[in-house]
Amino acid sequence: MHTFYKHEVKYYECDRMGITHHSNYVRIMEEARVDFLDKLGYGFDRIEAEGVVSPVVSVECKYKNPTTFKDLIEVEVFISHLSEMKFEFTYLMRKGERLVCEGRSVHCFSENGRPVQISKRLPELTALLQRNL
């Protein structure tokens, strides 16, 4: 499943040159990821209510073109990899037809500070994620 999330660049997200500061793309990725799981019907609030957290293991951004105040960034987000212990999201951020940033984030699953196998701990979530690869 590919979902689309829209983010309008805020004034405070821009640097002195009027360009969206690079750190904000990671925040936009998080917004899109949360939205993706909500649309899937199994959001982070539900995952955490069941005692599992999903911390970021790694994050990567490749900046292609700048954006500025009030630009509308459309984020295509999808799961690009799923294993027993982690999942990876890919983000393609565009302003119109122009690619502005390509990102990836990898997340593990843990409970009480210990890694968990998601298929055993949250089988319903696992089934949803597998169907949407």
Q: Write the pLDDT tens digit of every residue in 57-105.
A: 999 999 999 999 999 999 999 999 999 999 999 999 999 999 999 999 9
Q: Which residues pair with 58 in a beta bridge?
A: 106
- Would you say 31 and 7 are in contact if contact means Cβ atoms under 8 Å apart? yes
| Residue 2: per-residue pLDDT | 87
What is the domain-level CATH number for residue 120?
3.10.129.10
Look up residue 20 and give its amino acid. T
Residue 15 annotated in active site: yes
The whole-angstrom separation of Cα 105 and Cα 30 is: 9
Q: How many CB atoms lie within 10 A of CB 85?
A: 15
From the candidates 15, 35, 38, 45, which is the catalytic residue? Answer: 15
Residue 115 has pLDDT above 90, yes or no: yes
For the chain, the domain total comes to 1
Quick one: which H or E segment has residue 69?
none
pLDDT exceeds cutoff 80 at 1: no
pLDDT, residue 117, reads 96
Q: Cα separation of 29 and 26, whole Å?
A: 5
- Domain span at residue 127 reads 3-131
